[in-house]
Amino acid sequence: MTTEKLTLSLYNPSQAHQCIKQAWDFAKNLTMAGHKLVLEVKPLSKTREQEEKYHAMIGKIAEQAEHLGSRWLADDWKRLLLDRFARETGRTAGSIIPNLDNSGVVQVGIQSRRFSKSDSIEFIEWLYAWGAENGIEWKVQD
pLDDT at residue 40, rounded to an integer: 80
pLDDT at residue 13, rounded to an integer: 83
Give per-10-residue mean pLDDT for the chain (142 aa): 71 84 81 75 89 96 96 94 91 83 85 90 97 90 54
Do 65 and 121 fall into the same domain?
yes
Do 57 and 92 fall into the same domain?
yes
Write down how long the chain is. 142
Do 12 and 78 fall into the same domain?
no
Do 58 and 31 fall into the same domain?
no
Burial of 6 (0-12, 13-18, 19+ CB in 10 A): middle
Do 65 and 112 fall into the same domain?
yes
pLDDT at residue 1, rounded to an integer: 41
pLDDT at residue 74, rounded to an integer: 97
pLDDT at residue 135, rounded to an integer: 95
Domain range enclosing 101: 48-133
CA distance 97 to 129: 30
Instruction: Provide the number of structural domains found in the chain.
Output: 2
